[in-house]
Structure 1
Amino acid sequence: MALDGEPVKPETYEGDSITVEGVQDNQVTGEEGRFTAIGCGLWAQLPPLAPGAHSLRIHGQSGDLSVDVDYVLTVGASSA
């Protein structure tokens, strides 16, 4: 992960049991109702960003799962 070309170190959260309530035809199970899943992953907190354009790149792979996303974040000037 990189913000404006500088590395951002994410934190790893090991699996915790979570309860999810799905609506009919949801994208996870296709069924409505409650089910138990595992919530885990990498999380990053970004510092406050100065006004202007910023780039955020997220790239990673684990087994057959991969992600490669580039965001352009635009921060407006504060009116306060």
Structure 2
Amino acid sequence: MSSAQGAVLLDGKAVEPETYTGDSITVEGAPGNPVTGEEGRFAVTGCGLWVQLPPLASGKHSLKIRGRSGDFSTGVDYALTATAASA
């Protein structure tokens, strides 16, 4: 985690990521899952840079995520459309 770096832009404005150094979490794998190939519950450590987005106004939004740690890097661009929930 010490080398992890990341950036998130929501509609062109930076959203500051939070660092989680490691929490124990339980994951339930479905039969034939592509990560482990096994089903059942697994105890793992969840860590990384995480972002909680604010509520989005109705309309179109762009979300850009970039990150890296060591020799791993990732990047994704999302085109989001938010609509108001009906009562």
Instruction: Report the TM-score when normalising by structure 2.
Output: 0.74
How many residues align structurally? 80
Structure 2 stretches lacking a partner, 5+ long: 1-7
Q: 5 Å matches for 1:29-40?
A: 29-40=36-47
1:8 partnered with 2:8:
no
1:26 partnered with 2:48:
no
Distance 1:34 1:46, change over 3 A: closer
* Identical columns (%): 68
Distance 1:20 1:75, change over 3 A: closer
The residue number in structure 1 matching 2:51 is 44
| Cα separation, 1, equivalents of 2:85 and 2:41 | 42
1:61 partnered with 2:50:
no
Instruction: Report the TM-score when normalising by structure 1.
Output: 0.79
1:16 partner SS: strand
Structure 1 stretches lacking a partner, 5+ long: none
Higher mean alpha-carbon deviation, 4-13 vs 23-32, is at 23-32
Structure ID, larger Rg: 1
After superposing on structure 2, the runs of 4+ consecutive aligned residues of structure 1 that deviate more than 4 Å are 77-80
| Cα separation, 2, equivalents of 1:21 and 1:59 | 27
| Cα separation, 2, equivalents of 1:44 and 1:12 | 9
The alpha-carbon deviation at position 5 of structure 1 amounts to 0.6
